[in-house]
Amino acid sequence: MTYNPSIPQPTDNISVSQGDLLTNFTALNTIFGTDHTALNVALYSGNHKKTTLVRQAADPAAVAGAPILYTKQVTYNGPIFRDELFFRLGSGDGGAVVQLTEMNQAINSTVTGSTFMPGGFVVKWGQFSTSGTSHVASFVSAFNTSPLVVVASPFGAVPSFTWAVSTWNSTSLTIVTSASATAAFTYIAIGI
């Protein structure tokens, strides 16, 4: 069952090419039924069941009045490649590209992780231990710029000293403590 786009020809006799035409209609109904309710199904005929998007090699050009939903391959920490979902505004709206998904790692990771929210905010979290009065902890991956906010909190045995996140940049945070001791901390950082 292969679709033939060159039939019927003006000189074809319909009684002879009927089999070819039926093959084409059957092929079209099968192909259409891949992501849609098939045309020969009465209820919801032609409605979407799902959408299968072919990976694009690059962001498609913005089109006036027509936003575009597409997939593109993204490279994560080394040789990890994933197809992610993107949205491109129409050219009349600036044509900006927004990544909608990121499956760099499982979001339910208990130790360290990173995810993002559509629109550009990135959330990173992790755990680290301190010893001494100052400790630098690296984020699981770098932010594009310095995070907007970083919060750290002890877990397990609550230390008897005070602590604060003193500084941070796109790759790490620095926590300072009022006494030289060992303690475990968790952090969450939000940025872009």
pLDDT band with cut points at 50, 70 and 90 for residue 42: confident
Sort strands 172-177 and 122-130 into parallel, antiparallel or unpaired.
unpaired
Pick left, alpha or beta for residue 158 (phi over 0 → left; psi -120 to 50 → alpha; otherwise beta): beta
Predicted confidence (pLDDT) at residue 136 exceeds the cutoff of 60: yes
pLDDT, tens digit, for every residue of 44-62? Answer: 777 888 888 999 999 999 9
CATH of region 113-191: 2.60.40.3940
**Contact (Cβ atoms closer than 8 angstroms) between residue 137 and residue 154:** no
Predicted confidence (pLDDT) at residue 98 exceeds the cutoff of 90: no
Predicted confidence (pLDDT) at residue 3 exceeds the cutoff of 80: yes
CA distance 104 to 50: 24
Closest CA to 59 of 104, 97, 24: 97
Predicted confidence (pLDDT) at residue 103 exceeds the cutoff of 80: no
Task: Locate the domains of the chain by residue range.
Answer: 1-49, 55-99, 113-191
Across 69-78, 154-163, 169-178, which has the greatest mean pLDDT?
Answer: 169-178
pTM of the model: 0.57
